Amino acid sequence: MKIFSFIYVSNYKLIYNSPVEAAQKKEQEKELVQKTLENPENFASIMHIYKAPLERYISRLAYISKDEIDHVLQDSFIKIYQNLNDFDTSLSLSSWIYRITHNQTIDYLRKQKNKPSLFRERELEFSETIPDIFTTEIDVDKKILSTHVTEILNALPSQYRSILILRFMEDKSYLEIEDILQKPPGTVSTLISRAKKAFKEETERYKLETKIQ
């Protein structure tokens, strides 16, 4: 049996509660990356932490099959490994990893432009993962949202879709979203406002077109 060395990271949190905790977390992340650079087997620790969240994020951002999600996820982790020396310690490891995954997913979608999306097939699965904050923040009919959210999201420009998913489904802070999408300070709040407005308008248009009550 192969024995792989792991870095045990306990109680890993994505949101910091205090500056001390934030500093400790940054040190841990730096150490984790350093250990991986010294020994590739330690990359398993990073994958262990991020596989599930990234898989969920890719499935929300791109309406593709499970096999394709795995394919994008694999490519993302390979890219993350290749770019470890480029990890900017001023960012959180999470934001940096999400950024690479986001870009890989968008690139994949661009190449698959002409393929039909699978949002209808994955509608129920997707709608079950929508947190309540999505409906309260955007203030749309929950009935519509639960059954047609993927169609509505899919109709939005990818920039709006990404930001709504990151903010209301992945629960990322404004600072994290700035780092993931490499947006200047202040633009994230503007984009979120526009995305919410676009989502509401798209919902209304959808209701009219499909005559949903």
Partner 1 sequence: MTTFEEKILNEIKDKKITPTGKNVFLLREASIWVFLSLILFLVGIAMSIVIFLLFDIDWESFGDSDLYAHEKILHSIPYLWVGLVILFSILTYKLLLYTKTGYKKITNKLIIKTFLLLILTAIVLHLSSVAENLEGNASRIPYYRSLVFTKRDIWNAPEKGLLAGKITEITDNKSLTLKDSNKATWYIILSSITNSGNIEFKPGMKIKIIGRIIATSTFEAIEIRNW
Residues that bind partner 1 (CB under 8 A): 4, 37, 40-41, 43-44, 47-48, 51, 70, 73-74, 77-78, 81-86, 88, 90, 178, 182-186
Cα–Cα distance, 143 to 25 (Å, whole number): 40
CA-derived radius of gyration, the chain: 18
Least Å distance, CB 36 to partner 1, is 8
Half-sphere exposure of 191 (CA within 13 A, CB side): 23
Half-sphere exposure of 128 (CA within 13 A, CB side): 4
**Closer residue to partner 1, CB minimum distance, 88 or 121:** 88
Cα–Cα distance, 183 to 179 (Å, whole number): 7
Least Å distance, CB 86 to partner 1, is 4
Cα–Cα distance, 159 to 191 (Å, whole number): 8
**Closer residue to partner 1, CB minimum distance, 44 or 156:** 44
Q: Comparing C-alpha atoms, which of 155, 159, 154 is closest to residue 194?
A: 159
Least Å distance, CB 134 to partner 1, is 27
Least Å distance, CB 56 to partner 1, is 14
Least Å distance, CB 183 to partner 1, is 6
**Closer residue to partner 1, CB minimum distance, 11 or 182:** 182
CB contact set of 188 (below 8 Å; sequence gap of 6+): 163, 174, 177, 178, 181
Least Å distance, CB 117 to partner 1, is 24
**Closer residue to partner 1, CB minimum distance, 34 or 147:** 34
Kindly list the distances between the CA atom of residue 110 and the CA atoms of 68, 103, 107, in Å, as whole numbers in the listed order.
Answer: 14, 11, 5
Q: Comparing C-alpha atoms, which of 177, 152, 149, 175 is closest to residue 163?
A: 177
**Closer residue to partner 1, CB minimum distance, 87 or 134:** 87
**Closer residue to partner 1, CB minimum distance, 183 or 207:** 183
CB contact set of 182 (below 8 Å; sequence gap of 6+): 99
